Every structure is written in structure tokens, then in C-alpha cells.
Amino acid sequence: MEMRSLGGSGVRVSSLCLGTMMFGSMGNADRDECVRMVHRSLDAGVNFIDTADAYSRGESEVIIGEALKGRRDDVVLATKAFNPMSRDPNHRGSSRRWIVQACEDSLRRLETDCIDLYQLHRPDENTDIDETLGALSDLVRQGKVRMVGSSTFPAEAIAEAQWCSERRGHVRLRCEQPPYSIFVRGIERDVLPTCRRYGMGAIVWSPLNGGWLTGKYRREAGGVPDESRFARLQRGAWRFDSPGAERKLDLIPQLERVAADAGTDLIGLSLGFTLSHPDVTSTIIGPRTMEQLESQLPAAELQLGDAVLDCVDELVPPGETISRTDVAYEPRALRHVAKRRIART
């Protein structure tokens, strides 16, 4: 499997990264199968594993810790913090208080003495980035974290963090983890160029757009398959009657024809598309079952030609995100009326 440089960190990671959001009660409750999936990935050449404390409320990290016994030194291990871990209002976010505790909790669950890449799962609009980077810098100096990154940060937040690191003497964000797929190309406009400007790696998530780009969702099927992620997580935003969903349903057969002409399937085309961007370091695959893992691993060896990528561009133009429901982060001013209007009495 191809190894790529993770920005300017000097660390080399596999072009496919094993994402483990589906390990545990959120997806696959069979821990033994999850462990086998980790081992199968490592045997296939994957050396990069990504998890988060919030995945199955820590269970994913526990599974990874078990699976890596005896093989920890062969893996670049990444995890994240920010999302709520309890009802306690201080068991979330990017404050110094929580980051220090969350890191210790992740180290314990992962059964390791150091996290290779510790990431901020989302921007925290309630915390000064100087406070957050100061805490992360201390963790690096203490040897508990080797490098730090962000996840789903808009370009302006990445630039602000880099500015703060330079002027305050903090460690720098070494990579960003944004959503990216044929259906979600917004990061081509700003996030990927910003990562390039600051020498950051980019490890992209949801390259199959939550299952849309596997071909399992079709208009003629008349609904959401019972075993699909949409059905299990009951996400109302994934309805077939939204404008974005309608366009996706129209595009899937066309993309399947492009894939067939390229000698692959829709999964291969979708993963290969993300890996073809020069600013993408690694693509996170997030299988729930061994069967799903086996269907995605071959994409590491696939190389799509310019003619194939041109066909994709004709169907979904560069920089376009089809559905608003796929925008993973929006500032509070867009989400809350009170943040964009002056209160009047």
C-alpha cells in the first residue's frame, strides 16, 4: 500500500486509514469481529488507524487498544476529543480542563502511553484557541501526544490556529480531517488550499458519503434498507424526499457507468476519486463489517486516469456540495437566530 507524508510532520501513513466509528454499540457490537478487522487492515498494509473518544462512548478506543496488543509500534494511532462524554457540561469541548482529562481517558482506553495524532473533533466557539493550543502543547511536551490536528475546521479556523501557534509559541496543527467525497466537494474551494499553504496533511472522512456512494440507496428500492446506517441511526436528514437526495439518486446510475468504464465499481471509483486529489494524504474508510472492509481495501491499488476524473467533474463540478445536510460544521450565527439579530424590546 502506498505510503504518503502527513504534511510536514515527517510521518508516513498509508493511503487508506482505518476509521473505527462503527466499532462498538454505534455499529458493530461484535468486538471479536472488530479486532479481526483491525488485524486484516494491518496485514493489508494499513498503518494508520483513526478513532475518537465519542465513538460508542469510548468502546471503540477500548477495542482498538485490545486489537493493537503486540502491534502498537507498527501503527500511527489517531484519536479525537470534543464531543460530549457525559451530561456534565465540562465533559466536552476544547477547554484545558477537558482536553487534559479526555487525553488521559483515551490513553487508558487505548492501553498506550502516547497518542500519535490527537485531534480536535470540531471547532469550539466557546473556548479561546490560545487556551486550547496551550493545553495541547503541554501534552506534547509531556510525551503523551506526538502531534496534533483538527477535524472539520473551516479554513478560517485553521488559519487562526496557525496564526496563534506562530505568535504564542504553541505546537502547530499538523493535519486537518475534513469530509470529502464525490458528493461533498466543498473543501476543494478553501480547506484543501489552506492545508497546502500551511504544510498540513489532509485525512478525509466519509468518502462514500455515509453509504450513498456504495449504491445501496436507490429510487426503485422505495426506501432505506433495514441494515443501512440511515435506518440504524435514524437520521432524518437522510430522507429520499430532500432536493439533495433526489439529485444523488439521479447521479448514482451515471457514476456507476463511469466506474464500469474505468474497470471498477462505485466504491472503487469513490475512494479512488478522493485519493486522486494531490492535497489528500489519506482516505478514511469506516467499515462496519468484514465484508465492507474487503470491498474497500482494493481501492488502495486503484489509479484513476484524467478521463475518468473529468467525467466525475462533469457530473459534480469541483467545489460543489450537493446537499446542505452534508455540511458537517456551520457557525452558530447560521444555526441560532439570536446570534445574528440584535435583541429589541
Beta-carbon contacts of residue 54 (< 8 Å; ≥ 6 apart)? 80, 82, 83, 84, 85, 121
Q: Three-state SS across 29-81?
A: CCHHHHHHHHHHHHHCCCCEEECCCCHHHHHHHHHHHHHCCCCHHHCEEEEEE
Burial environment of residue 114 by CB neighbours within 10 A (0 to 12, 13 to 18, 19 or more): middle
Question: Cα dihedral angle (174, 129, 78, 321), rounded to 10 degrees?
Answer: -80
Cell 473529468, residue? 310
Cα-Cα-Cα-Cα dihedral sign, residues 329, 330, 335, 338: positive
Which residue among 55, 118, 180, 198 is the active-site one?
55
Helices 59-67 and 31-43, interaxial angle, to 10°? Answer: 50
Helix axes 266-275, 243-261, angle to 10 degrees: 90
Q: Is 202 left (phi over 0), alpha (psi -120 to 50) or beta?
A: beta
Instruction: Decide: 270 and 179 in contact? Cβ < 8 Å.
Output: no
Where does residue 344 rank: exposed (0-12), middle (13-18), buried (19+ CB within 10 A)?
exposed
For this structure, is 55 an active site residue?
A: yes
Gyration radius from the chain CA atoms: 20
- Residue 301 identity (one-letter amino acid): E
DSSP 170: P
The number of CA neighbours under 13 Å toward the Cβ of 320 is 14
Catalytic residues: 55
